[in-house]
């Protein structure tokens, strides 16, 4: 794919600006009715999906060039996909999110990758993670846990901790919690520990093509050699990479589960019993890559056609990803099965959820924007009266925890697995 493949989308964009808002029929108040963090923060049309389609057309036609400002309008975006969901409600067959990513690819190929993101990509090459951490430290979080090492042993299930839970000392406890839950349920699983590699998903969102392909081929070769049939991860970004990107870039057919899906199933099957009360009012944040972008990959090798030389269509029709079939019920059902937990919803939830601000390289390249985005979500969570904001992704938790700390908020931030562990 290239940005040229989305020329028709850019031409057909009606400039309606619906992509700036959450779906109209789901709005509950003016305060929490916006959908796009980028336009809300940037406050200029170019910071919206529709605006970027105009930028793409202009660049493709040679009517403008990439200045620093243009680069910022393209990259100061969380790639969260809220715009994509809203656009598809009023327009059929448009793919603004994919188009925006291909616009990034174009800029990267022309040498305009923001410096902070170039550093992440360099770290991916040298250390197999994007956090700049030494690769030797990757398995430290699990050293004393006595887990099967799949670089030497075999198992049908691999637990993939992901970079943030592997390297961030403040967060590694969640990976250990996940392992304790799997052991308690009697799941036969292993890890790659020090030889685990990044999923590559975040580099894809930043606008690079090669790293995710390399990561996919590396991870799949290791999984196959160890007899792995199912990969389980507590990270929404890894989940998206394994489920949506690996089939696309490396023909993966491996089964992919997020920990919330597996744990919810184990609770439903009676293999885990949540008996201890956790008296808390919580609200759940849908990670973008588990929710609206967590739908199954559908292969498509069709062609763009014109009817009577005019109306563009796709033959066969392109798969329609509109966020409706993401992972929404498993985390909610899991929370509701914990005695004492009261679940209340934020106004923007499921496919209309507001982003945490950490995606698309925003946390690394535009930290003020990223933290402002998280702060908006914290205010929305507080408006529910909840004691805690619960999520299922280390990137969301990191951004929220930073925001709560810097803003002096009382709200607690948890990964859903931490509440499960308390209830066991
Ligand atoms: S991208 Fe979609 S929602 Fe946004 S202005 Fe264009 S047609 Fe409207
Ligand atoms: S991906 Fe998210 S931040 Fe980027 S334009 Fe769409 S709604 Fe805005």
pLDDT in tens, 260-298: 999 999 999 999 999 999 999 999 999 999 999 999 999
Give the pair of three-digit tokens for residue 33. Answer: 């009715």
Identify whether 250 is part of a domain.
yes
Q: Is 18 in the pocket of ligand 1 (CB under 6 A)?
A: yes
Q: Please check whether residues 128 and 254 belong to one and the same domain.
A: yes
Structure tokens at 46: 């170019």
- In this structure, the answer to whether residues 241 and 170 fall within a common structural domain is yes
- Both 91 and 49 in a single domain? yes
In-domain check, residue 399 = no
* Mean pLDDT over each residue of the chain, to the nearest integer: 97
Tokens of 149: 């090492």
Gap from CA of 85 to ligand 1 centroid (Å): 10
How many A from CA of 402 to the centre of ligand 1? 33
Q: Are 206 and 120 in contact (CB under 8 A)?
A: yes
Last residue of a domain, one of 251, 268, 285: 268
Q: Are strands 341-344 and 280-284 parallel, antiparallel or unpaired?
A: parallel
H or E element at residue 108: helix 96-109
- Atom of ligand 2 minimally distant from the CA of 86: 7
Q: Does the pLDDT at position 91 exceed 90? A: no
Using the mean position of ligand 1's atoms as its centre, give its distance from the Cα of residue 19 in Å: 5
β pairing state of 311-315 and 303-307: antiparallel
Q: Is residue 176 located within the same domain as residue 107?
A: no
Instruction: Report the percent of the chain where pLDDT is more than 90.
Output: 97
Q: What's the rounded mean pLDDT across residues 357-377?
A: 98
Number of domains in the chain: 2
> Which ligand lies nearest the alpha carbon of 94?
1
Nearest atom in ligand 1 to the alpha carbon of residue 87 is: 3
Residue 418: pLDDT above 90? yes
Asked which of 268, 291, 322 is the last residue of a domain, the reply is 268
Q: Which of 96, 18, 88 is nearest to 57 (CA)?
A: 96
Average pLDDT of the segment spanning 173-193: 98
Same domain, 40 and 72: yes
> pLDDT band for position 93 (50/70/90)?
confident
| Domain contains 318 | no
108/180 same-domain check: no
Ligand approaching nearest to the C-alpha of 48: 2
pLDDT at 196: 96
User: Considering only CA atoms, which residue is closest to atom 2 of ligand 2?
Assistant: 80
CA–centroid distance, 51 to ligand 1, in Å, is 9
Q: How far is 21 from 37, CA to CA, in rounded Å?
A: 10
Residue 253 sits in the same domain as residue 147: yes
Report CA(52)–ligand 1 centroid distance (Å).
Answer: 10
Query: Which CATH number covers residue 120?
Result: 1.20.1050
Q: How far is the CA of 74 from the centre of ligand 2 (A)?
A: 10
Is residue 129 a part of any domain in this protein?
yes
Whether 79 has a pLDDT exceeding 90, the answer reads yes
Determine the atom of ligand 1 nearest the C-alpha atom of 96.
1
pLDDT of 344 > 90? The answer is yes
Q: State which of 8, 17, 77, 103 you would mutate to test the pocket of ligand 1, scoring each by most atoms of that ligand within 8 A of its C-beta.
A: 17
For residue 309, is pLDDT > 90?
no
First and final C-alpha spacing in the chain:
47
Greatest alpha-carbon span in the chain: 67
Specify whether 86 is located in the same domain as 154: no
Question: d(Cα 129, Cα 126) in Å, to the nearest integer?
Answer: 8
Task: Kindly tell me if the per-residue pLDDT of 311 is higher than 90.
Answer: no
Residue 80 lies in a domain: yes
Positive or negative CA dihedral for 39, 44, 46, 51? positive
Which tokens go with 1? Answer: 């794919």
Residue 395 placed within a domain: no
| Pick from 46-55, 154-163, 310-319, 347-356: least confident | 310-319
Helix (H, G, I), strand (E, B) or coil at 295: coil
> Does residue 74 sit in the same domain as residue 169?
no
- Among the bound ligands, name the one nearest to the CA of residue 51: 1
pLDDT of residue 310: 82
Q: What is the per-residue pLDDT for 230?
A: 98
User: Which residue of 8, 14, 92 sits with most ligand 1 atoms within 8 Å of its CB, as the best mutation to test the pocket?
Assistant: 14
One domain, residues 64 and 32: yes
pTM: 0.97
**Cα separation of 99 and 222, whole Å?**
32
Asked if pLDDT for residue 193 goes beyond 90, the answer is yes
My answer on whether 12 and 80 are in the same domain is yes
As a whole number, mean pLDDT of residues 395-416 equals 97
Whether residue 86 is predicted with pLDDT greater than 90 in this model: the reply is: yes
| Boundaries of domain holding 38 | 1-112
Q: Is 49 in the pocket of ligand 1 (CB under 6 A)?
A: yes
pLDDT exceeds cutoff 90 at 192: yes
Instruction: Quick: pLDDT tens for 107-137.
Output: 999 999 999 999 999 999 999 999 999 999 9
How far is ligand 2, taken at its centre, from the CA of residue 81, in Å? Answer: 6
Of 214, 245, 268, at which residue does a domain stop?
Answer: 268
User: Looking at the predicted structure, is the pLDDT value of residue 349 above 90?
Assistant: yes
Residue 352 placed within a domain: no
Q: Has residue 216 been placed in a domain?
A: yes
| Cα–Cα dist 364/407, whole Å | 19
Q: Do 94 and 125 share a domain, yes or no?
A: no
């Amino acid at each position: 794919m290239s940005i040229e493949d989305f020329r028709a989308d850019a031409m057909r964009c009606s400039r309606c600006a619906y992509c700036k808002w959450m779906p109209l029929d789901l709005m509950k108040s003016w305060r929490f009715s916006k959908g796009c963090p980028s336009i809300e923060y940037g406050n200029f049309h170019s910071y919206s999906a529709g605006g970027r389609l105009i930028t793409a057309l202009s660049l493709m036609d040679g009517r403008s060039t990439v200045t620093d400002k243009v680069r910022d309008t393209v990259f100061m975006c969380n790639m969260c996909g809220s715009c994509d969901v809203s656009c598809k409600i009023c327009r059929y067959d448009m793919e603004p999110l994919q188009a925006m990513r291909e616009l990034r690819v174009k800029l990267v190929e022309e040498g305009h990758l923001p410096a902070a993101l170039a550093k992440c990509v360099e770290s991916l090459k040298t250390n197999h993670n994007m956090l700049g951490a030494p690769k030797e430290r990757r398995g430290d979080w699990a050293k004393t846990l006595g887990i099967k090492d799949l670089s030497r042993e075999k198992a049908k299930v691999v637990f993939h901790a992901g970079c943030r839970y592997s390297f961030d000392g403040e967060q590694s406890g969640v990976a250990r919690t996940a392992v304790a839950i799997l052991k308690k349920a009697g799941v036969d699983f292993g890890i790659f520990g020090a030889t685990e590699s990044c999923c590559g998903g975040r580099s894809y969102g930043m606008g690079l093509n090669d790293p995710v392909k390399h990561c996919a081929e590396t991870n799949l070769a290791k999984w196959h050699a160890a007899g792995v049939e199912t990969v389980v991860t507590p990270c929404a970004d890894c989940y998206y990479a394994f489920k949506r990107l690996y089939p696309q870039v490396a023909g993966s057919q491996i089964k992919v589960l997020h920990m919330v899906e597996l744990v919810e199933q184990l609770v439903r099957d009676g293999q885990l019993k949540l008996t201890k009360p956790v008296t808390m009012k919580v609200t759940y944040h849908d990670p973008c890559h588990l929710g609206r972008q967590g739908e199954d990959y559908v292969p498509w090798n069709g062609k763009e056609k014109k009817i009577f030389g005019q109306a563009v269509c796709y033959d066969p029709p392109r798969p329609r990803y509109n966020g409706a079939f993401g992972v929404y019920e498993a985390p909610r059902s899991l929370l509701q099965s914990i005695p004492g937990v009261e679940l209340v919803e934020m106004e923007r939830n499921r496919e209309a959820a507001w982003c945490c601000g950490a995606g698309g390289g925003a946390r690394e390249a535009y930290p003020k924007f990223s933290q402002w985005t998280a702060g908006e979500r914290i205010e929305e969570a507080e408006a529910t009266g909840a004691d805690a904001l619960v999520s299922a992704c280390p990137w969301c938790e990191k951004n929220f925890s930073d925001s709560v700390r810097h803003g002096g908020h009382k709200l607690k931030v948890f990964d859903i697995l931490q509440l499960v562990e308390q209830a066991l």
